[in-house]
Amino acid sequence: MSSVPTTLSSTTVGDAGASVVFLHGLFGQGRNFTQIAKSLVPEHRSLLVDLPDHGRSAWTQRFDYPSVADLVADHLRAGFAADGPVDVVGHSMGGKVAMLLALRHPDLVDRLVVADIAPAAGGAVSEFAYLLDSLAALDLSTLARRGEADERLAGRIGDARVRGFLLQNLRADGDGFRWQANLDLLRRDLEAIGGFPDVGGATFERPVLWVAGDRSDYIRPEHGPAMRALFPRTTLVTLKGAGHWVHSEQPEAFVSVLRTFLGAG
């Protein structure tokens, strides 16, 4: 990461109850979990974090999971988790950050929820490479209006929902547009984002819940041994009708699972 201290941006939802931190996936922002967080009020207050190189958080020089986890740890210690451990929910890339946070800073994490990602290399790296290439191919200097970006992307990305998700990163800037996410870094370091680092035999002994989509193959049976080795108190729940974006495709079921797990004694 950069040698200059990196500032993370975050938003709080709710003002009372048990504390929950949400960490988004690649191309995402903390606000992607706004409706989930609102559904947990008043029993929980939530912190929606923009990870480095995403949203309103600062850009860095390179991506690696231990460094990102350490940045999140510093952010939590300085505020949201200053009074003790919190629950952490992470999706995809954010799920890997959440795992590293629990393994490297176990004093900060009470319960861990990992949404549709395993502690392993792989996943749809080629798919994300295609999406990044598609965004990079847009000539922002010739965009006259925001809707034009969607029209141009439609030829490469047919799913309007995916285009809408990606284009949340497009920001008006004066008379033109710019990408809020650090696309150049994300393209360059995509292999690291798709990987999982050696954690040196660390384990996390608190409860961990994996939430998988039954239409996703990001968590497979062969991942079970690694999941249990790092996180001995592992439970896996699969949501029907959900793909990789389990929290947006089946939000009510996702909230129900969260309430049950986070509220367990």
pLDDT tens-digit readout, 150-202? 999 999 999 898 899 999 999 998 889 999 999 999 999 999 999 999 999 99
Q: Where in the chain is the domain with CATH 3.40.50.1820?
A: 9-122+197-262
Residues contacting residue 242 through CB under 8 Å, at least 6 positions apart? 116, 213, 214, 215, 216, 249, 250, 253, 254
159 assigned to active site: no
Helix axis angle, 146-153 relative to 160-167, nearest 10°? 140
184 assigned to active site: yes
Q: Which of 75, 91, 244, 247 is catalytic?
A: 244
Total count of residues recorded for the chain? 265
Q: Which of 133, 159, 173, 184 is catalytic?
A: 184
Cβ–Cβ under 8 Å, residues 132 and 186: yes
For residue 114, how many C-alpha atoms fall within 13 Å in the half-sphere facing its CB? 29
92 assigned to active site: yes
What is the reported pLDDT for 84?
A: 94
Return the structure tokens found at 261.
């797990």
Q: Which of 19, 92, 216, 248 is catalytic?
A: 92
pTM of the model: 0.94
Q: Which CATH superfamily is domain 9-122+197-262 in?
A: Alpha/Beta hydrolase fold, catalytic domain (3.40.50.1820)
User: pLDDT digit string (tens) for 52-106?
Assistant: 999 999 999 999 999 999 999 999 999 999 999 999 999 999 999 999 999 999 9
Q: Is 86 helix (H, G, I), strand (E, B) or coil?
A: strand
Q: Please give the Cα distance from 159 to 23 (Å, whole number).
A: 24
- Confidence check: pLDDT of 1 > 90: no
Q: 23: pLDDT confidence band, cut at 50, 70 and 90?
A: very high
First to last CA, the chain: 38
Residues contacting residue 17 through CB under 8 Å, at least 6 positions apart? 40, 41, 42, 43, 44, 45
